[in-house]
Homo-oligomer: A and B are copies of this chain.
Amino acid sequence: MTEVPPEGLTISAAAEMSGLSVDTLRYYEKEGLTLHRPGRSPSGQRRYTEQNVAWLGTLVMLRKTGMPIRDIKRFVELYRVEGSEADRLAILQAHRQHVLDDLDEVQTHLAAINRKIDYYNTAVMQGK
């Protein structure tokens, strides 16, 4: 599906695939959010493997659902601790609940938006 050559992708290619910016990729790495740091070409440029890019997808998933950088960092660090699977699972489950609560709140407010739109449509716009 995704085609990552064996020598790896440049940072700009990885950025494009992940939907993040080049600067954000370097920033995430600096913050310790990478599961494995990408390798380097002989001249020192980053080379992203399929695995590297896959993890970027995880980062996008967590960020887009509102997990702060700080919390993602803690999550990643658990991957370096042996036998921490239960802890990682707990974090994911807690985050899942967080997302569900968030969705619920937004949907409630969305209903209010819909009511306001209806109000404009029926009570205000009939004279048009």
Contact = CB atoms under 8 A, between A and B. Distances in A.
A18 to B, nearest CB: 13
A117 B88 CA distance: 9
- Interface SS of chain A: helix
A51 interface: no
Interface residues of A, number: 33
A107 B65 CA distance: 9
B109 A92 contact: no
Interface in A77-117: 85-86, 88-89, 92-93, 95-96, 99-100, 102-103, 105-107, 109-110, 112-114, 116-117
A124 interface: yes
Given A58-B116, A85-B120, 14 more contacts: A61-B109, A61-B112, A61-B113, A64-B105, A65-B106, A86-B125, A89-B125, A92-B116, A96-B114, A99-B106, A99-B109, A99-B110, A100-B110, A103-B110
